[in-house]
Amino acid sequence: MMHYLDANATEPLRPEAKAAIQAAMEIVGNPSSVHAAGRAARRAVEDARDTIAARFGCQPGDLVFVSGGTEADALAVHAFGQGRRILVGATEHDAIRSAAPTATVVPVLADGTIDLDALAACLADGQPSLLCLMAANNETGTIQPIAAAAALCRSHGALLHVDAVQAAGRMPIDFARSGATSMAISSHKLGGPGGVGALLLSPDHTGIAALIRGGGQERGRRGGTSPVAAIAGFAAAARVAGDCTGLAALRDTAEQVAVACGAIVVGAAAPRLANTACLALPGCRADTQVIALDLEGIAVSAGAACSSGKVAASHVLAAMGLGDLAGQAIRVSLPWNATAASVDAFAAAYARMAARLIPPLVSRAA
């Protein structure tokens, strides 16, 4: 039996999303077509747009469907980064880091939250800037002080792009009140299907240059035929994905077991997503931990996996000043349907693993 505790990689598909996808797959048309079949497809897409926009506090016309979180981030950097200095938080996802490889990195504090003083110092020169800051971190769950960062950006005339890929569906999001210029959201991180996401735009920044122009879909902001079924599934998942506070008790149980085995909970000093635990086991390689747990049927992850599957040391944890521990931490992220049985299985497997991996202490002769 497999216990899936890697929700921050992807959430299990919600049944509401599955039903919506199945229904939408019966629709034949292309949303761009003139005829009745096309109109039916278009209606499904626009209904979904209304739902998702309402759910996250955005005008429907200001929501651009894209292929996922990475594209939403890339589109935001493309649209707002040109002619501006780009600032990125030190713990941003590779979707941002790769889209803005020459950006100025704003450090984080030891608890993983952005150093607001350093940010203010960066912005003080008044240079036109774009700040990219994630709402919640994928590895630690650390929730960034978006409101404070937005206020700083506003007072210095800078734009703010928020990567809310991990946050959407797990904590309250109100884009309209966030002060952000744009926001990235991904379907599969909130229990929808993979392959679709959205970029939300604030009303005064709706006319953006496309990355992919194609046939002018999405009001010229993202070319390509809309994936109707995926978008319908995205909306159905967004409608039911509230927040994940109900998972806090299970997450805390997992953390307590790990701590009893010698683990350190990373980022515990700051507000975090209630489903995420980042557990460092001193002296034990992260990849070995992930493999050992996988062999016991527990799915967790570490760092950022590249296409080879290799686990690299985490830049997020390194930015938090964890040194060697950055290569010794795993991430447990509870899915929306996590059960006590799964957490119990994790706890038992973790204890067995720790007993085998932790270098034995030299016992003192009596």
The residues that touch other proteins, with contacts defined as CB under 8 A, are 287-288, 291-292, 294-295, 306-312, 356-357
Closest CA to 147 of 175, 118, 179, 170: 179
What tokens appear for 128 in the block? 């036109």
Closest CA to 258 of 276, 280, 275: 280
C-alpha to C-alpha distance for 335 and 21, rounded to whole angstroms: 20
Rounded to the nearest 10 degrees, the angle between the axes of helix 36-56 and helix 228-240 is 30
C-alpha to C-alpha distance for 237 and 49, rounded to whole angstroms: 13
Strands 159-163 and 129-134 turn out to be parallel
Nearest distance from C-beta of residue 229 to other proteins, angstroms: 27
Q: Is 117 exposed, middle or buried (0-12, 13-18, 19+ CB in 10 A)?
A: exposed
Minimum CB distance to other proteins smaller for 164 or for 298:
298
Nearest distance from C-beta of residue 313 to other proteins, angstroms: 8
Nearest distance from C-beta of residue 307 to other proteins, angstroms: 6
Nearest distance from C-beta of residue 310 to other proteins, angstroms: 4
Minimum CB distance to other proteins smaller for 83 or for 309:
309
CB 53 within 8 A of CB 63: yes
Nearest distance from C-beta of residue 284 to other proteins, angstroms: 8
Catalytic: 306?
A: yes
Catalytic site positions: 306
